[in-house]
Amino acid sequence: MSRWSRRAVCAVAIVASGAAWAETPFPSRAVHVFVPYAAGGGVDILARTLGDAVSQKWGQPVIVENRPGAGGVVASQALATSAPDGYTLILVASGHATNPFLYPNIPYDTFKDFTPISLLATSPNILLVRADSPFKSLADVLAEARAKPGSLSFGHAGTGTSTHLAGELLKSLAKVDIKAIPYKGGAPAINDLLGGQIPLSFNNAPEALGQLQAGTLRALAVTTESRTPLLPNVPAISETLPGYATEVWWAVLGPRGMPPALVAKLSADFVAALNSDAVKERLAKIGDSPVGSTPHQLDAKIHADYEKWGPIIKAAGITAD
């Protein structure tokens, strides 16, 4: 289906959904939430945790559907062609804002084809070394990289992921040559870090916490603008490189054209779920910090990341595998 044809179909669906919303209290049946990644990962855990919470409030089931592929493009395309009635949503990661630069022929418009609902949670990425590494600080890493350009490498969870971009931002601001090594997920990168195949790795908090607690890995720095309560004794990269700041975030979106009253209800319900003690406790265990935002704030966040990362991705010549 062409983009023009798809939008024509969506226009009809928008009119129908508005009428349905006005006549029937939401939700009156199961709500489906697409997750663009495999079951068992951090995004999946977040989706199921929040799904359980809002399901109790709504009195209707929330069905999480894992639709991995192409860094989230597969699931996002499926959502973009869904009816804007609130019964089909998606939980995206921060890569949603950068996919247009990684996939030149992306089959939807990142801004026009979706309705922002709420920014759900954030988490730092972490620069890791083995516990016995000679690098004791980020300054040590940068000194080595400047003395021996190209001699160091860092692992990451795959081309264009938040951990990959965290490393590229470090290289850009510090003006150093460190080779980026892609893996099919964060866990394989950690395995090679532990095995000594790579000296450094950027990983998100849920992947790294277990090894940090076991003492097999050491955190050199976190990628957030300032130190995180999750690892209060670990410095932020910005303490060595002023201006450095990045994080992985997750948000819930709907298709374009959703009725404003429905969007407001969904946003309020997800924010309420994030503020519940049970959800806060669950997210703290996996290293996520609940946010909860208005649709407008989420829209601004997506635009800001799009503008921030576009030049960095282009300068580094990054394209999807």
User: What is the structure's pLDDT at 21?
Assistant: 47
Domain with residue 51: its CATH number is 3.40.190.150
Residues 233 and 266 in one domain: no
Residues 235 and 310 in one domain: no
Residue 80 scores a pLDDT above 50:
yes
Distant-in-sequence, close-in-space partners of 221: CB < 8 Å, separation ≥ 6:
126, 127, 137, 138, 234, 235, 236, 237, 239, 240
Question: What angle is formed at CA 317 by the lines to CA 316 and CA 321, rounded to 5 degrees?
Answer: 120
Asked if residue 39 belongs to a domain, the reply is: yes
Q: What is the pTM of this model?
A: 0.83
Residues 177 and 71 in one domain: no
Compute the residue count for the chain.
321
**The last residue of a domain, from among 239, 256, 290:** 239
CA distances from 226 to 170, 284, 296 (A): 15, 18, 24
| Cis amide linkage into residue 290, ω under 30° from 0 | no
Summarised one tens digit per residue, pLDDT across range 156-203 is 988 888 999 999 999 999 999 999 999 888 889 999 999 999 999 999
| 114-123 and 289-290 strand pairing | antiparallel
Asked if residue 321 belongs to a domain, the reply is: no
Residues 277 and 300 in one domain: yes
Residue 142 scores a pLDDT above 50:
yes
Go through 89-107 and write b for each residue having 16 or more CB atoms within 10 A of its CB, e for each that does not.
Answer: bbbbbbbbbbbbbbbeebb
As a whole number, the mean pLDDT across the chain is 91
User: What is the structure's pLDDT at 69?
Assistant: 87
**The last residue of a domain, from among 193, 221, 239:** 239
Summarised one tens digit per residue, pLDDT across range 1-42 is 555 445 544 444 445 445 444 567 899 999 999 999 888 777
Q: Give the residue-averaged pLDDT of 112-136.
A: 97
Q: How many structural domains compose the chain?
A: 2
**The last residue of a domain, from among 204, 239, 274:** 239
DSSP conformation class of 25: P
Asked if residue 172 belongs to a domain, the reply is: yes
Residues 232 and 255 in one domain: no
pLDDT bucket at 85, cuts 50 / 70 / 90: very high
Summarised one tens digit per residue, pLDDT across range 210-269 is 999 999 999 999 999 999 988 999 999 999 999 999 999 999 999 999 999 999 999 999
Measure the CA–CA gap between 254 and 88, rounded to whole angstroms: 7
Domain limits for position 263: 3-123+248-316
Q: Give the residue-averaged pLDDT of 47-65.
A: 97
Domain with residue 156: its CATH number is 3.40.190.10
User: What is the structure's pLDDT at 23?
Assistant: 60
User: What is the structure's pLDDT at 8?
Assistant: 47
